[in-house]
Amino acid sequence: MKNLMRISRTGLLLMLVTACGPAVPAFDLEAYEAEIEQWRGERVASLSAPAGYLNQVGLFWIGEGSWSIGSAKGSDILLPASAAASVGELRVSGEDVRLLVEDGVDVQHDGLPVRELAMPPDVVGEFVMVQHGSIAWNVIERGGKLAVRVRDFEHPWLASFGPIPYYEIDPGLRVEAVLHPYDEPREIVVNTVIEGFQQFPVAPGTATFVIDGVEYELEPQLSGDKLFFVFGDQTNRDETYGAGRYLYADMPGDDGTFILDFNKAKSPPCAFNDFSTCPVASPRNRLPIRIEAGEKYDEALHFTGLVTH
């Protein structure tokens, strides 16, 4: 009923605007719904891409020393059964991470075989991923800690995944927001789904917006040329991912305003597998209302299995 009321108010507003003259263009609901449907299609394509989240099958934290890689039981970095029993090892020394491949084992980088290769983490210089059959891995750095993320490009999850459940499109939850900048952008502390592991993004200020006549506030993070919101709401209890959802928005214009479209709210990677390092919504970013727009959570779309044989 609430959604219908919002749409009705939107329709009434458009009729009043039209009656008063052409100064404000009418909201094209059909074009907007098509935009959201396109976004949803691109969302699935992004999740399914080689660098997406659906092919992730392992995450292994590493530190100084040597770390064995292979499908053999007891390997430090355990690969799926299709991999060689012993592929090689990673050697970590300070900031240097180096892959050494066993003789006779085919591991490739950019289509060329490698025997030894520097593998800096994803936050430093060129992104380096190596592949062994359908299995690939790279080194990531999160909060100063290193890990190896393993993917399987033939992971059966890719073929069986979907569809993602969504709320009905609600134009009333596409709202105008205002960014109130801090005197200087500040580093904030954000918890993640990994207990004791925190991230330290930069927040430019706070954003305010109005839903059903009530003003709310969220604190975004800077993410490239976008504002990134990690937010929670009352739907986290029963219909959306418990740790919160993600939402990106364009940077504000000169007047500080921008569009915050909750119909594009999406579940974090951790809603789909156990091998991601997702930030969770902070207490200040948990709204006391239900945001019934965007992605819902379906436990059947969450891959929990570790690499097994």
The domains found in the chain, sorted by start residue, are 56-160 (2.60.200.20), 162-301 (no CATH)
The C-alpha atoms of residue 217 and residue 284 are separated, in whole angstroms, by: 8
Per residue in 93-103, pLDDT (tens digit) is 988 999 999 99
Instruction: Tell me how far CA of residue 222 lies from CA of 116, 212, 225, in angstroms.
Output: 36, 27, 7
When pLDDT is averaged across residues 175-202 and rounded to a whole number, the result is 93
The phi and psi torsions of 292 (rounded to 5 degrees) equal: -90, 70
How distant, in Å, are the alpha carbons of 8, 201, 215 from that of 229?
28, 11, 17
Q: Of 235, 252, 100, which Cα lies nearest the Cα of 170?
A: 235
Confidence of residue 25 (pLDDT cuts 50, 70, 90): low
Q: Report percent pLDDT > 70 for the chain.
A: 90
How is residue 148 written in tokens?
């190896």
CB neighbour list of residue 201: distance below 8 Å, 6 or more residues apart:
187, 188, 190, 221, 222, 223, 228, 279
Give the highest mean pLDDT range of 12-16, 44-48, 204-208, 301-305.
204-208
Give the span between the Cα atoms of 78 and 81, in whole angstroms.
9
- Backbone φ/ψ region at 74: left (φ over 0), alpha (ψ -120 to 50), beta: left
Q: Which region among 56-70, 146-160, 161-175 has the lowest average model confidence (pLDDT)?
A: 146-160
| Structure confidence at residue 305 (pLDDT) | 63
Query: Per-residue confidence at 289, pLDDT binned at 50, 70, 90?
Result: very high
Contacts of range 4-8, beta carbons closer than 8 Å, 24 or more positions apart:
6/170, 6/171, 6/172, 6/173, 6/212, 7/170, 7/171, 7/172
Whole-structure pTM value: 0.84
Q: Is the pLDDT confidence value at 19 over 60?
A: no
Segment among 48-62, 100-114, 120-134 with least mean pLDDT? 120-134
